[in-house]
Amino acid sequence: MLETLRQVCLAFRIADDLVSYDELKAGNINRTYKVNTVKPDGSLKSYIIQKVNTYVFKHPDWVMENIDHVTEHIRAKKREKIALHFHHTSEGKTYMIDDNGFWRLFNYIESDTFNVTTDPDVIRNAGEAFGEFQMQLADFDASELFVTIPDFHDTRKRYEKLEADVLADPCGMVAEVKEEVDWLLSVKDCACQLTDLFRAGEIPLRVTHNDTKINNVLFDKKDKSALVVIDLDTVMPGLVGSDFGDAIRFAANFVEEDSPEAEKAGINLEVFEAFADGFLKCTAKSLTAKEIETLPLSCFVLAAELSTRFLDDYILGSPYFKTNYPEHNLVRTRCQIALAKDMLAKMDIMEQIVKECVKKYA
């Protein structure tokens, strides 16, 4: 691997000697490596190299063009902000393709990241960062963006795919997951409400991040302020509820996304409140009343939608999400379902919290 990464560095015109690397395991799609080089004066400098998953991203060059566009747009507004800086090859490209795959390289930003935290300041800062991100893109012309994964948060299409794959049952796994399939189908219409409202023209399309896990925000090591929103691979036209809901289903769960202790999964309302407060501080004035109304429900929607995705992947033999063991996607499904159930039970309180935040900021 070291030699492969060394070749990638060279392609991106980094001449300093690569001495070591670590694989960073947070993402479920791309492979991410922190590589450490030594400069001629003896000092160390690190970069991030990613191998983009081309099973998931069929047009990784489109992904890179989108990122370029969006980053430029944000940088023009906030010159002083830290940004991911992608390095170029000698041909002026932000990616390179070799026999091993599709590679990109960017600067390493010294920072903290969190998979699980209940620190209300960190959570509020994450809410602000994602809310601000969306507001910065409010005047971005969505037609300039490639759709890198079609129907990414179209919950009805996600369900249709699950139902088709349950029928086909290519790996003979469906009998084992009957309970999960049945429960997901029993909440289908509720889970598809965001998609239905969009199709009915009741909520607008915006430019959204679409993958708002809290570990996609880098935080200052000292004061825990948000430095930058990363992982712009799925920036596409989308719904505000998808960003809000996805962030909550990840950050506000009592346990990690792939915890085998599904019975402990559920929504931490203090985390919910802190994130909602930060997010609405930045967005309450700009969102429509209908969009705001969808926010609490969108958390359930995103948890149910991701349950269908994990389960579908499990049924197909896990070609999409990275897994560490054969049952990994089933474990993720069960944990997400338990979270979704708890959200339904607490929907009234979530609605109340959003109302209070809106009163404060709108």
Longest dimension (CA), the chain: 64
Looking at residues 191 to 230 of the shown chain, list those that interact with Mg ion (rule: CB under 5 A): 211
Environment class of residue 221 by beta-carbon count within 10 Å: exposed (0-12), middle (13-18) or buried (19+)? Answer: exposed
The Cα 329–Cα 323 span in angstroms is 7
Cα 59 vs. chain centroid, distance in angstroms? Answer: 18
* β-bridge partners, 20: 36
Query: Per residue in 209-220, is it b (16+ CB within 10 Å) or e — as a string?
Result: bbbbbbbbbbbe
The Cα 215–Cα 251 span in angstroms is 9
Residue 328 touches which member of Mg ion, ligand GN1, none, C-beta under 5-8 Å by kind: none
Residue 305 touches which member of Mg ion, ligand GN1, none, C-beta under 5-8 Å by kind: none
Query: Which residue of 132, 165, 180, 231 would you call a contact of Mg ion, by CB under 5 A?
Result: 231
Measured from the CB atom, the residue of 106 and 358 that comes closer to Mg ion is: 106
Task: For residue 52, state whether it binds ligand GN1 (rule: CB under 6 A).
Answer: no
Query: Which residue of 29, 63, 67, 280 would you call a contact of ligand GN1, by CB under 6 A?
Result: 29
Q: Are the C-beta atoms of 240 and 287 separated by less than 8 Å?
A: yes
Looking at residues 241 to 300 of the shown chain, list those that interact with ligand GN1 (rule: CB under 6 A): 257
User: Coil, strand or helix: which one is 227?
Assistant: strand
**Cα distance between the two ends of the chain:** 52
Binding mask 201-220 for ligand GN1 (x = CB under 6 A): ----------x-x-------
Residue 273 touches which member of Mg ion, ligand GN1, none, C-beta under 5-8 Å by kind: none
Query: Per residue in 70-91, is it b (16+ CB within 10 Å) or e — as a string?
Result: bbebbeeeeeeeebbebbebee
Query: Which residue of 184, 306, 315, 357 would you call a contact of ligand GN1, by CB under 6 A?
Result: 306
Question: Nearest to ligand GN1 by Cβ — which residue?
Answer: 29
How many of the other CB atoms lie within 10 Å of CB of 200?
8
Strands 217-219 and 226-229: antiparallel
Binding mask 314-353 for ligand GN1 (x = CB under 6 A): ----------------------------------------
Smallest distance, ligand GN1 to C-beta of residue 36, A = 23
Task: For residue 231, state whether it binds ligand GN1 (rule: CB under 6 A).
Answer: yes
Task: For residue 246, state whether it binds Mg ion (rule: CB under 5 A).
Answer: no
Span from 26-34, 86-94, 155-163, 186-194 in contact with ligand GN1 (CB under 6 A)? 26-34
Smallest distance, ligand GN1 to C-beta of residue 236, A = 10
Measured from the CB atom, the residue of 56 and 162 that comes closer to Mg ion is: 56
Query: Per residue in 132-142, is it b (16+ CB within 10 Å) or e — as a string?
Result: bbbbbbeebee
DSSP codes joined into one string, 160-198:
HHHHHHHHH-TTS-GGGGHHHHHHHHHTHHHHTHHHHHH
Smallest distance, ligand GN1 to C-beta of residue 28, A = 4
Smallest distance, ligand GN1 to C-beta of residue 15, A = 31
Task: For residue 154, state whether it binds Mg ion (rule: CB under 5 A).
Answer: no
Task: For residue 56, state whether it binds ligand GN1 (rule: CB under 6 A).
Answer: yes
Measured from the CB atom, the residue of 37 and 323 that comes closer to Mg ion is: 323
Q: Are the C-beta atoms of 339 and 303 separated by less than 8 Å?
A: yes
Smallest distance, Mg ion to C-beta of residue 211, A = 4
Measured from the CB atom, the residue of 48 and 292 that comes closer to Mg ion is: 48
Q: Which residues bind Mg ion (CB under 5 A)?
A: 211, 231
